[in-house]
Structure 1
Amino acid sequence: MSLPPPRRRLPLLLVEGATLLSGTGNGVATVALPWLVLERGGGPTAAGLVAAATALPLLVASLVSGTVVDLLGRRRTALFSDALSAASVAAIPLVDATIGLNLAWIVVLAALGAVFDPAGLTARETLLPAAAQAAGWRIERANGVHEATWGLAFLVGPGVGGVLIATIGPGPTLWVTAAGFALAVLLVAAVRLPGAGRPEAPPAGVWQGTVEGLRFVWRDRLLRAVALLTMVLVALYLPVEGVVLPAYFVAEGAPARLGSILMAMSAGSILGALASGWAVRRLRRRTLFVVALVVTGLALVGLAALPPYPAMLTFAVVIGLAYGPINPLANYAMQTRTPERLRGRVVGVMTSFTYAAGPAGYLLAGPLVEWLGLRAAFLVLAGALLVAALAAVPMRVLHALDDPPRYPPAPPGGTTGRTEGPVPLGEQWAPTAHRD
């Protein structure tokens, strides 16, 4: 009788370490770049232009990012993405020190930095199942940790950026951010996993591969439903954080309370994502998904009533806790219903739905607040999210979350050549010949 192979947690730690560094770097940049613009005499419109310059490339690049991953390979794409992000961030203080920095340079370099992010995100996410298998983790547990890592990065990133700006200034802060991206490159370079190298059957081209990914997602009823539900949630949820709550607390003259509410949401989502791996061992995935949706909607309606601050803080925590399992379950659906050769394209397409939803929600929220007033607009957004959540309850297609994986798990002998016990659900075999 063969002994089970030793568990190797290092690849998973390396992937999540790179995710944390890259996400934190992006969080720092979201604070440092507008600050730099305002410090140089630009007004809010100029700062908004920089934010828009990062939003549009994210949307376009996310659509093709998965095809790039399937063309170049997962590890190589992650390396290139973080290296190019480091270069674009470092170029800002470098241009400032040499030829002089103006708004046009900041916009161009910020846009270049945003172009590379979706490919890196997609590449690291497609490495996750193999890293989970090497560690002996269920894929649900790894998904929860991965989403919690992202949440932690974007929770601490802006705070770290604020502290660095106050301590050393925005220019040196960007050098520190570039160093963080460079360290992420080193971590990914050390990852050795099956399927991380060049793909066996790459797509014929960027356009053809992207269309193939779109068709696959649209024809799979579960993935299509999850993508559309997630898109609606993001379109209704992000304006609450980015428009409605800031407007309310500015009017109240309480910016510290705004920060506390947003941190409570983020902290709750981290805990919810971590708990999702535990919850799916006790509940059906479909049950957890619809309960998470409905509780998120109910808690958001409670927050939209604008109760006293302690109650708002409580609702914010509940929103985060409830929302936490949604992305890990969406990841699980992608991982278990997508063939290995298409995984990058499918992850990229699903991510692009989310990136498209954010700007659409912001375009809706501004005129809605001006037309109805803040309180009524908040209730409309929260009520619409609750209606979407309740509409998901009778959707029969969501029962497919509890189906066996559509594609087989790693075969006996797995990727190590040995006879093994059960492997984490959803992991598919990737030939060791293509390890690099």
Structure 2
Amino acid sequence: MTVPRSGRVAVWCLLGATGLSVMGNAIVGMALPWLILQRTGSATAAGLVGSAAVLPAMLSAMFGSALIDRIGRRLASNAADVLSALAVAAVPIVDAIYGIDVALMALLVAIGATFDGPGMAARESLRPDVAERSGVPLVKLNSWGETVDNIGAFGGPVVAGLLIGFAGPANTLWVTVAMFLAAVVLVQFGVPKVPPAPQAAEESYLRSVRTGLMYVVRDPVLRAVTLMSLIDVVFLAPLEPVLFPAYLQGEGVAPAMAGLVLASFPVGTIIGSLGYSFVADRFRRLTVLVASLAMAGTGLMLFVFTPPPLGMIALAVGIGIAAGPINPIVATSYQERSPAHLRGRVIGTLVALSSALAPVGLLGMGPVIDGLGAPWGFVIVGAGSLVTAAFCLASKGIRRVDEPADAPAGLTR
């Protein structure tokens, strides 16, 4: 397949902007708590500031995504990154003038997180446009996009550690401001402009949000994929922040080695999602999705029988490879089944709904570990992935994931 030069530029600019934005957020996620701990010495203060991002991110993905269809996907992506850059820049400025005020920092974090959901939804909404312009199959572009996401999430803390050691946490935040602005330049000059849908401005804002939600509810595939994601996230949400630290600490694994184990998952996911891009057109998505969930779940259940740390690292990479195709398949189903004039709202709604039950898993895993021990936590998480795989096989909606979209009645215009 020969991709025209303008198409290649659009692909690389969108992927580059995605990587810069994701890595910038990952760097902020490490540099900001470090700054607060350095100034206050309080882990509670750092935790309070970090938690301020959770609710705004979810709500903005649901309610802010209607803006994407009203103002256009490219403008929405750029506006989100510019506003994120301003929110991050305010942190070192406030620190230099007033010092650290926990309440003010929490407010700035909440403001910054408010733009993350719509920004991510806008960039995902641009992928079908770029795929059409370039001739690259959408599922392949999604595989590349998920690879870039994982590279950013993996590389962000590494880059943050180096920058914090060299320039300090406050100055590190200025680097992320530059990353957000560079993402804006790439999208503005490299990604084709798609005009907003005319009908998006004809209805009230809340009706626009409701339209996106009802489209998801009425489309059998989107509804089923959302339910699948909700089931999976309940079990997987506590894996990295709760279960792994408790288990590895209990096994006497040194912090540096524990970090390598945790970093091995995104490394495997990068390999899996990139590898899937080469074979995506050879296999049914349903087959790959079920196999990925089943293999990842089995691997997680076997984790407690694996010798630390090298065996754990090898198994973590293997689990990541197995799980690599899941996100590209889910993203492709979202995009293919969302009509152009509703795409921003639909994807934003799906992003918000898919993570809605994450707090349930996070709150539930603590008592499991305290009462039964961390090994049982892995059994439960692994079994959750197997349950999700079984749901995919049983769900009529998921079994149609390879089929063309049929717009729900009453929502085509």
* TM-score interval for Structure 1 and Structure 2 normalised by the shorter chain: over 0.9
Match of residue 369 from structure 2: 369
After TM superposition, the structure 1 = structure 2 runs for residues 76-225 of structure 1, keeping only pairs within 5 Å, are 76-193=75-192, 196-202=194-200, 204-225=203-224
Tell me the CA shift for residue 235 of structure 1: 2.3
- The 1-side partners of 2:191 and 2:299 are apart by 43
User: Does the C-alpha gap of structure 1 residues 394 and 354 become closer, same or farther in structure 2, counting only changes over 3 Å?
Assistant: closer
Asked whether the 8 Å contact 1:249–1:257 carries over to 2, the reply is: no
Aligned residue-pair number: 404
Secondary structure in 1 matching 2:136: coil
Match of residue 233 from structure 2: 234
After TM superposition, the structure 1 = structure 2 runs for residues 34-433 of structure 1, keeping only pairs within 5 Å, are 34-193=33-192, 196-202=194-200, 204-251=203-250, 252-305=252-305, 307-406=307-406
- The 2-side partners of 1:5 and 1:240 are apart by 42
Asked whether the 8 Å contact 1:304–1:378 carries over to 2, the reply is: yes
Tell me the CA shift for residue 7 of structure 1: 5.5
- The 1-side partners of 2:321 and 2:154 are apart by 15
Asked whether the 8 Å contact 2:3–2:135 carries over to 1, the reply is: no
- The 2-side partners of 1:253 and 1:43 are apart by 26
Asked whether the 8 Å contact 1:140–1:332 carries over to 2, the reply is: yes
- The 1-side partners of 2:72 and 2:324 are apart by 29
- The 2-side partners of 1:390 and 1:340 are apart by 32
Is there any run of 5+ residues in structure 2 with no aligned partner, and where? 408-413
TM-score, normalisation: structure 1:
0.88
- The 2-side partners of 1:92 and 1:389 are apart by 43
User: Does the C-alpha gap of structure 1 residues 5 and 217 become closer, same or farther in structure 2, counting only changes over 3 Å?
Assistant: same
- The 1-side partners of 2:285 and 2:39 are apart by 51
- The 1-side partners of 2:294 and 2:276 are apart by 16
Tell me the CA shift for residue 38 of structure 1: 1.0
- The 2-side partners of 1:335 and 1:292 are apart by 21
- The 2-side partners of 1:346 and 1:37 are apart by 37
Secondary structure in 2 matching 1:190: helix
Tell me the CA shift for residue 43 of structure 1: 2.1
1:17 aligns with 2:13: no
Is there any run of 5+ residues in structure 1 with no aligned partner, and where? 408-436
- The 1-side partners of 2:122 and 2:243 are apart by 33
- The 2-side partners of 1:153 and 1:114 are apart by 17
User: Does the C-alpha gap of structure 1 residues 6 and 246 become closer, same or farther in structure 2, counting only changes over 3 Å?
Assistant: closer
Which amino acid letter does the alignment assign opposite residue 201 of structure 1? Q
Match of residue 410 from structure 2: none
- The 2-side partners of 1:148 and 1:276 are apart by 10
Moved more, 244-253 or 138-147: 244-253
Secondary structure in 2 matching 1:198: coil
Which amino acid letter does the alignment assign opposite residue 234 of structure 1? V
Asked whether the 8 Å contact 2:3–2:134 carries over to 1, the reply is: no
Asked whether the 8 Å contact 1:140–1:276 carries over to 2, the reply is: no
- The 1-side partners of 2:55 and 2:393 are apart by 33
- The 1-side partners of 2:223 and 2:315 are apart by 30
Asked whether the 8 Å contact 2:232–2:384 carries over to 1, the reply is: no
- The 2-side partners of 1:173 and 1:366 are apart by 33
- The 2-side partners of 1:6 and 1:242 are apart by 43
Match of residue 30 from structure 2: 31
Which amino acid letter does the alignment assign opposite residue 363 of structure 1? L
User: Does the C-alpha gap of structure 1 residues 233 and 197 become closer, same or farther in structure 2, counting only changes over 3 Å?
Assistant: same
- The 1-side partners of 2:165 and 2:338 are apart by 46
Tell me the CA shift for residue 109 of structure 1: 0.8
Which amino acid letter does the alignment assign opposite residue 295 of structure 1? M
User: Does the C-alpha gap of structure 1 residues 191 and 406 become closer, same or farther in structure 2, counting only changes over 3 Å?
Assistant: farther
Moved more, 94-103 or 117-126: 94-103
- The 2-side partners of 1:297 and 1:225 are apart by 20
CA displacement 1:13-36 (0-9 Å, x = unmatched) = 111111111100000011011111
Which amino acid letter does the alignment assign opposite residue 327 of structure 1? N
- The 1-side partners of 2:6 and 2:184 are apart by 24
User: Does the C-alpha gap of structure 1 residues 202 and 306 become closer, same or farther in structure 2, counting only changes over 3 Å?
Assistant: same
C-alpha RMSD of matched pairs (Å): 1.9
Asked whether the 8 Å contact 2:14–2:191 carries over to 1, the reply is: no
Greater share of helix: 2
Misfit runs of 4+, over 6 Å: 3-6
Asked whether the 8 Å contact 2:131–2:137 carries over to 1, the reply is: yes
Asked whether the 8 Å contact 2:20–2:180 carries over to 1, the reply is: yes
Which amino acid letter does the alignment assign opposite residue 207 of structure 1? L
Which amino acid letter does the alignment assign opposite residue 200 of structure 1? P
Asked whether the 8 Å contact 2:253–2:309 carries over to 1, the reply is: no
- The 2-side partners of 1:5 and 1:387 are apart by 44
Asked whether the 8 Å contact 1:7–1:136 carries over to 2, the reply is: no
